[in-house]
Amino acid sequence: MRLVAAIVSILLAAESAPAGSVLDYIRDYDLNDYAFGIAFSTEQNLYAGAENGALAYPFLTSFRDSAFTDDWFLIRDGGLGGRWVSDSGWELGAIARVQTLGLGNSKADDLLGISDRKWTIEMGPTVGWRAWPVHIHLTTFFEPTDRHTGNISQLAVSLPFEWSRGYLVPSIELVHQSADYADYYYSVTAAEATVSRPEYTPGAATNTAFRVRWGYAFNDQWLLSGRLGVELLDAEISDSPIVDRDRIWSATLGLAYNADIFQPRE
């Protein structure tokens, strides 16, 4: 939490702007650039015998991807946060997201006796450089409730494209999980070990991911958007006795409507 507080302080002090100017900027921010909608998300579950996850939920989105704007409000890859973008293309901010990795409702024999991994909130700093045509972002997420005391970092290199009615942002990412993070999600303790499921303690792991996010505006009010990705798992993860995959797929499809319900301050 101290880290997040420090980042917020940096954002508010960006370019030595007076406090009044920063507050005026926030008050004058046009919330009608955003739309509310319903999204459907599905993801392969990496645990042995576990059911794949599927979820429908309300979401907030923008008609333009964050790669093409300098808005202080940041929506990226399922997370929400704030940022400051310099005239030279540097980006500094903080972002938070929900981490839902877990066994789900699985009753598979391979997972009997394994304690569930609970959902949690992850948050942390993000820094990027947006020099055309390639954008680079590094985000590190920490877990404030200390369920795993670890962290996960994502280094993404993307090549954004934008048209009058849509956008496409393919990216390649390195996803590094600290030893404590990997231990929480993929270890087998002595109490959980069986004849067919040996005790296991993973070390730090680095996955490689290929993702693409996209959006298409039917008109000024309706937006269809989505994400598609595949993540190749490090051997420290795939070698776990409770993991039966070496890669996981994920996909999200959302439909949003902009009703222009927010009125300007004046």
Beta-carbon count within 10 A of 68 CB:
15
Instruction: Kindly report the pTM of this predicted structure.
Output: 0.83
Helical ranges in 138-242 per DSSP H: 179-186, 235-238
pLDDT score, position 7? 47
- Quick one: which of 218, 216, 187 has its CA closest to 203? 187
Residue 179 structure tokens? 């030893």
User: Structurally, what CATH architecture does the domain formed by 2-257 represent?
Assistant: Beta Barrel (2.40)
pLDDT score, position 182: 95
Give me the pLDDT at residue 23, please: 56
Tens of each residue's pLDDT in the chain, 266 residues: 444 454 445 444 444 444 555 556 555 555 556 788 999 999 999 998 888 888 899 988 888 999 999 888 898 877 899 999 998 899 999 999 998 888 876 667 888 889 888 888 999 999 999 987 899 999 999 998 877 788 999 999 999 999 999 999 999 999 999 999 999 999 999 999 999 899 999 999 999 999 999 999 999 889 999 999 999 999 999 999 999 999 999 999 999 998 775 555 55
DSSP 105: T
pLDDT of residue 13: 47
